[in-house]
Chains A and B, each alone.
Chain A
Amino acid sequence: MNVEDRLFLNRFNADDRSHLKVIDPEVCLKCKRKQCSPSCPSKCYTIQDGKAVVAYEGCLECGTCRIVCNEFFNIGWKYPRGGFGVSFKFG
């Protein structure tokens, strides 16, 4: 099963504002590894013109992107506002 189909099974209450942020997209141009993209278990990050673009709606709130962006620390990571984001039925 591909990741998009998997995420479709989860319950999300997406906020209208993103809790994830690429702090300075220009900095991504200096980054050779671009680990955010392959490491994210829900494929929130895509690389466009060498810069990371984030889609927060399917975020599982694991925190991996924050950990792997350890060269430039270019990801602003917060929890979604109270009650928003993923809501696990089983966990």
Chain B
Amino acid sequence: MPSKSEEELKFDVIVVGAGPAGTTAAYVLAKAGINVVIFERGKYPGSKNVMGGILYRKPTEDIIPGFWKEAPLERNIIEQKLWILSKDSAVNVGYRSASFDKEPYNCFTVMRAHFDKWFADKAVEQGALLINETVVESLIKENGKVIGVKTGREEGDVYTDVVIIADGVNSLLAKEAGFHPEIPPEKVALAVKDTIFLPKEKIEERFNITHNQGVTIELIGQITQGMAGGGFIYTNKESISVGLACLCSDFMKTGITPYDLINQMESHPVIKPLIEGGEIKEYSAHLIPEGGYDAIPSLYGDGYLIAGDAAMLVNPVHREGSNYATASGMSAANTVIRAKERNDFSAKGLSHYKTLLEESFIMKDLKKYRRVSRFSIENSHMFSLYPEFINQAAHEMITVDGVPKKEKQKKIWKLLKRKRSLTNLIKDAFNIWRSFK
């Protein structure tokens, strides 16, 4: 039985992790007058958090309208590009629009360490209690129901009606409690990133932008050396985020080290001029849960809900994750508000969470792409063979050397068939269609 002193440490809701999912949940709950505490293991919110750097406007706006007027953002993204790389060339597709350059904007680059701190302060303003430097080590259960958490602090047991588990991709809580098993290496990607500082003017000149405008470049092809994955280059105010992510299973197969991979990427002849003269000021690494719809664990139970990366809510095809975290944090909070009205924190009482997610873009998008994870695992040639071919074809067509274009086309077609049999080409086309339709 809980003793008296333990009774004193009871909150309506405990949120584990002050990332986008946890802070969103705490903000919404505190605003509704619910007594909520957030435990964050870092020195401050954001100090343990890493992402490529894109924050989508919509889900955060749903919580704090007009947030971009005061939040610490880097640049407003007006152009998004895809580079398909060979070893010394790139085929480039992109979209730039002046309409992205005015309110309400589409997305921004952010530094998690800056943005998450600001966001958590906003939740505190609403009345949430934020406790930093505190690891939640395990869940306290009674008759199968979660009734609290054990923190790393002395006399650190804290009780609650419901725990919102938002402790990220490595969610030890979810694993320990058996909500999901250990993630297999083919369902998670390792990302490494350098934050490279350059004078503002240099960045704007190199990326053809002014003041707060920003550009994103996604990269596939030679830089991942045949591994399923891709790279990215994002512009911040006075720095550029450069990195790549590949499936852990492919790192295992190839034995390539992540730091050799990022070094080689940065010396690629098409990438190098963009970062030339820059100074790396931070090197980070992070796992991305890429198992898709079929890897999502059971998201709720007696006395708990799981949100964000801990729930593996990531869409690698569109590099969306932080927006899923925010949206799922909001759904978790709304579920808890409803459960509180009915005073029912059982699995049944919290099952509304699943309904909310199923109705939202999150599950709809993840369902749409549910085959992509398997497709990437089984078709790593997509990340090497086709990018190489596309570059060769472009090179052939663009090079003026007196050969008639018709002959060039024939040559390209022959080249493709040499790389991949007609049957396999058709199979690939079918698989792509089926995975992305």
- A residues lining the B interface (CB < 8 Å): 1-3, 6-7, 9-10, 13, 33, 35, 38-43, 60-64, 66-68, 70, 73, 77-83, 85-91
The answer to whether residues A82 and B259 also contact, given A62-B286, A63-B287 and a CB cut-off of 8 A, is: no
Supply 5 A–B pairs (Cβ within 8 Å), ascending by A: A63-B170, A82-B153, A83-B42, A88-B112, A91-B46
The answer to whether residues A81 and B152 also contact, given A60-B284, A67-B188, A86-B48 and a CB cut-off of 8 A, is: yes
Q: In the complex, are the beta carbons of B172 and A78 less than 8 A apart?
A: yes
Q: Tell me if B263 counts as interface (CB < 8 A to partner A).
A: yes
Q: In the complex, are the beta carbons of B251 and A68 less than 8 A apart?
A: yes
Q: In the complex, are the beta carbons of A89 and B132 less than 8 A apart?
A: no
Chain B residues whose C-beta falls within 8 Å of the C-beta of A81 in the assembled complex: 135, 152
- B residues lining the A interface (CB < 8 Å): 41-43, 46-51, 111-114, 116, 132-135, 151-153, 169-170, 172, 182-185, 188, 190, 192, 194-195, 239, 248, 251-252, 255-259, 263, 280-287
CA distance A68 to B43 in the complex (A): 28
Q: In the complex, are the beta carbons of A39 and B248 less than 8 A apart?
A: yes
The answer to whether residues A79 and B259 also contact, given A10-B283, A39-B190, A64-B248 and a CB cut-off of 8 A, is: no
Q: In the complex, are the beta carbons of A83 and B113 less than 8 A apart?
A: no
The answer to whether residues A41 and B170 also contact, given A87-B47, A89-B282 and a CB cut-off of 8 A, is: no
Q: In the complex, are the beta carbons of A39 and B169 less than 8 A apart?
A: no
Residue of B nearest to A3 (CB): B259
The answer to whether residues A38 and B255 also contact, given A68-B185, A79-B41, A91-B46 and a CB cut-off of 8 A, is: yes
Q: In the complex, are the beta carbons of B190 and A64 less than 8 A apart?
A: yes
Chain B residues whose C-beta falls within 8 Å of the C-beta of A87 in the assembled complex: 42-43, 47-48
Q: In the complex, are the beta carbons of A91 and B113 less than 8 A apart?
A: yes
Residue of B nearest to A8 (CB): B283
Given contacts A10-B283, A83-B42, 13 further A-B contacts (CB under 8 A): A38-B256, A41-B192, A41-B285, A43-B259, A64-B285, A66-B170, A67-B188, A68-B185, A70-B184, A83-B43, A85-B48, A87-B42, A90-B281
Chain A residues whose C-beta falls within 8 Å of the C-beta of B190 in the assembled complex: 39, 41, 62, 64
Question: How distant is B279 from chain A, measured CB to nearest CB, in Å?
Answer: 9
Q: In the complex, are the beta carbons of A63 and B134 less than 8 A apart?
A: no
| A/B pair count, beta carbons within 8 Å | 141
Q: In the complex, are the beta carbons of A39 and B287 less than 8 A apart?
A: no
The answer to whether residues A67 and B113 also contact, given A2-B259, A39-B252, A83-B43 and a CB cut-off of 8 A, is: no
Residue of A nearest to B49 (CB): A91
Question: How distant is A59 from chain B, measured CB to nearest CB, in Å?
Answer: 9
CA distance A35 to B190 in the complex (A): 13
Closest 8 CB pairs of A and B: A91-B112, A83-B133, A6-B283, A82-B133, A91-B113, A41-B285, A41-B258, A63-B170
The answer to whether residues A79 and B283 also contact, given A39-B258, A70-B184 and a CB cut-off of 8 A, is: no
Residue of A nearest to B259 (CB): A3
Residue of B nearest to A62 (CB): B285
CB contact between A6 and one of B41, B133, B259, B286 (< 8 Å): that residue: B259
Chain A residues whose C-beta falls within 8 Å of the C-beta of B43 in the assembled complex: 13, 83, 87
CB contact between A9 and one of B151, B248, B251, B280 (< 8 Å): that residue: B280
CA distance A13 to B43 in the complex (A): 10
Question: How distant is B105 from chain A, measured CB to nearest CB, in Å?
Answer: 21
Q: In the complex, are the beta carbons of B113 and A88 less than 8 A apart?
A: yes
The answer to whether residues A90 and B48 also contact, given A9-B282, A41-B258, A81-B152 and a CB cut-off of 8 A, is: no
| Residue picked from A66, A77, A89, A90, most chain B C-beta under 10 Å | A90
Chain B residues whose C-beta falls within 8 Å of the C-beta of A62 in the assembled complex: 170, 190, 285-287
Question: How distant is B18 from chain A, measured CB to nearest CB, in Å?
Answer: 12
Question: How distant is A38 from chain B, measured CB to nearest CB, in Å?
Answer: 5
Chain A residues whose C-beta falls within 8 Å of the C-beta of B41 in the assembled complex: 79-80, 82-83
Chain B residues whose C-beta falls within 8 Å of the C-beta of A86 in the assembled complex: 48
Residue of B nearest to A85 (CB): B48
CA distance A19 to B45 in the complex (A): 20
Chain A residues whose C-beta falls within 8 Å of the C-beta of B182 in the assembled complex: 66-67, 70, 73
Q: In the complex, are the beta carbons of B239 and A90 less than 8 A apart?
A: yes
CB contact between B252 and one of A2, A33, A77, A80 (< 8 Å): that residue: A33
CB contact between A79 and one of B49, B172, B263 (< 8 Å): that residue: B172
Chain B residues whose C-beta falls within 8 Å of the C-beta of A82 in the assembled complex: 41, 132-135, 151-153
